[in-house]
Structures are given as structure tokens and as C-alpha cells.
Structure 1
């Protein structure tokens, strides 16, 4: 529970405002779409866009924060977050890949061009898994 309090704190929201320049960022008291993600060996996540209008508050979701919790993660195990450039109609090219190492965070806009996913299957040993926390503002 402490983790969610920190992720929804005014101090973090102010930091995110300073990083993004987006005025009026708020936490989501419903944590809709937020949560712990667990991807064992062989799993993957198709490239996709997150929805931008919150189904309860009807406010626009502006940014997505993902924090990785994988101590000892080896790059060759994959599980990279892939961020692509493009339009709603077509992904054009991969902009970057983020290795899911412990305490690494990815912060990106939630919009109609924010293509992201984990298209390559995770190749970690059976006793490991790609773990992360995701939250929206």
C-alpha cells in the first residue's frame, strides 16, 4: 500500500509536472489500469495504444509511468519496452528500447501516437519473470 501512496503523492506529481511540463496532472484515485505486471518466460505484449479517456472520471490520461522491479535482470533475457514513432494509422519506426532492469522507470505520454509494447518473447529462466508497476496520471 505504501508504494501506491508514493506513486500518487503530490511530491511525485509535482516532479512529473516538472519533467513533462504538463499542467494540471493528477493522480488517479481509482488506479484504473494501474497495477503489477508479471511476464514469465515466453510471454510478450503486442504493440498497442493505451486508452486516453478515463472510463470513470472522463478525464484525459496524459502520462504512463512504468517502474521495473527485476533485480539481476540480464539484457539477453529480453522483455524490453519498445516505444515506436508513428501515427494512429501506422507505426513507422522504433524510437527506443528500454531494458527492464531493477529501479528503471519509463515515463511516456498516453496519446494516439504512443505505440508501445513488448513484442519479443521474454527469454528469462523459468524461475524468473519480468515484473513492473504501471500507473497513469
Structure 2
């Protein structure tokens, strides 16, 4: 499914692109998968009805964690992402010893329907179960068939240290590897997809094992737009505390991989 030979034959170029990208480390890889297989995978995806865990700071966004159930091509992709071969590739590109979570906690198939958006945010940093796994990468594979800029929904990334920002296109069969750090904000603006078309992606996360936690564990830090309502800004300000409290009382949906 994954075009492994292309990746392995271009490791030095890919590493250089990743490490020198701005506003922070990221990498765009087009034709990431075998096109024919990925089209079959795309055609096996139904309209999703399970609302995303990001519902507080997202609109009309749906997800399926265990997307490998949807067909053989998606099962092959799921296995390829967590393979030792792929782990070696991303470790070389990032110059770190990292690996994809084989159970993909918090990740999965994401579908943004009409007027979907995702406010700028920082992701959780330590794995919900394996507390010494530090999240180093988001691996975002886009399945937006015949995507055009006017459909919107490009991945916006912003360096919280400098305020520098970029917006990355999200066409079909593009993988974006994005560094995760305390300053790597990301999200997307209100979409404008045609009826019957959705902003579709598969999210996978890669980790490094830490002997000692180097950051205070967090859930998600949410950064609403400047013109957001006062109530929304207050909710965002206290969101991390509220989620931690909810997890203590009722358990974490991410830990349950729901």
C-alpha cells in the first residue's frame, strides 16, 4: 500500500525537507500510497456518524478509530503504518528513535462534513495509557478526491513561539508529517466542499519513549480565533482542566480508543 521504495530511495532529501521546513518541522509527501489501492480504500469509506472527540473545538467532524474494519485496503494501510519498516523510515527522517502507536489511540479516519472546521490547538503530549510515550509526530494522510483550493480545509500550522503561519494543501494521496511540540498549533478553517463530498483524512501518531517526562502532561490546548465569543474563550482557557477532571471521573475516550 505505502510506496516504501520511493521513501527508502529518497531518505536524505526527505530528512532535509522535514528538518528545515518552516514555521516548524513538517514534511509533505505526495503519491504516498499506491494510487489504485488508495482509490479502492477511499471507495470503501461510508459516511460516518460517530462524532469526533474534538467536538468542543470542531464543527461537524466525525471519526472512526478502528478504520481497518472498513475493507482490506484500509486494513493493509493500518498495518503498514505500524510496521517496523515504516518506523525505520520516520526515525531516519526525524533523526529520532520513534514508532507509530500500533493501536492508534486517538487517531483514525476523520470526516469533516458541511461547514466543518477545527480550531487551532495543541495535541495531547503523553500517551493516555503508556505514560512515558511522548508524541513526536502527527501523520496525516489526506483522501480528498479531486480537491480544489476553493473547497478550503487546508491544514493550517502556526508556531506559537514566533506566530509564523503556513497553510498546506490537502489533496488526495498526500501525507503530511507534522512535528508535535508545545508550540505546534494546527487546525483548519471552515470548509466549502460540494454536497456529498467530505474533508477526509487518516490520522496516525508516532512516539518516542522517555525515561523521564520532560513536560507537564496535557490533554489538548485550544486556541480560538480572536473574534470568538467571550464564553468560547473562557471555555478554551479551562478546557485542559475540564477534560482532565472528566477523565478522572468517567475515564478517557482516547485511552479506550473510542
Return the TM-score normalized by structure 1. Answer: 0.90
Within the alignment, does 1:135 sit opposite 2:209 as a pair? Answer: no
Question: What do residues 47-72 of structure 1 show as CA deviations (whole Å, max 9, x unaligned)?
Answer: 00011100101111111100001111
2:140: which partner in 1? 66
Within the alignment, does 1:29 sit opposite 2:107 as a pair? Answer: no
Q: Return the match for 2:87 from 4, 13, 16.
A: 13
What do you get for the CA RMSD once the two structures are aligned?
A: 1.2
1:45: which partner in 2? 118
1:92: which partner in 2? 163
1:84 Cα deviation (Å)? 0.4
| Number of residue equivalences | 131
Decide which structure has the larger Cα Rg and report it.
2
2:246: which partner in 1? none
1:125 Cα deviation (Å)? 0.8
Within the alignment, does 1:56 sit opposite 2:132 as a pair? Answer: no
Return the TM-score normalized by structure 2. Answer: 0.49
Higher relative contact order (CA 8 A, sep 6+): 1
Determine the C-alpha separation between the residues in 1 that align with 2:154 and 2:160: 19
2:176: which partner in 1? 106
Determine the C-alpha separation between the residues in 1 that align with 2:148 and 2:197: 11
Q: Which runs of 5+ in 1 are unaligned?
A: none
- Normalized per residue, the structure richer in helix is 2
- Normalized per residue, the structure richer in strand is 1
Q: SS of the residue aligned with 1:117?
A: strand
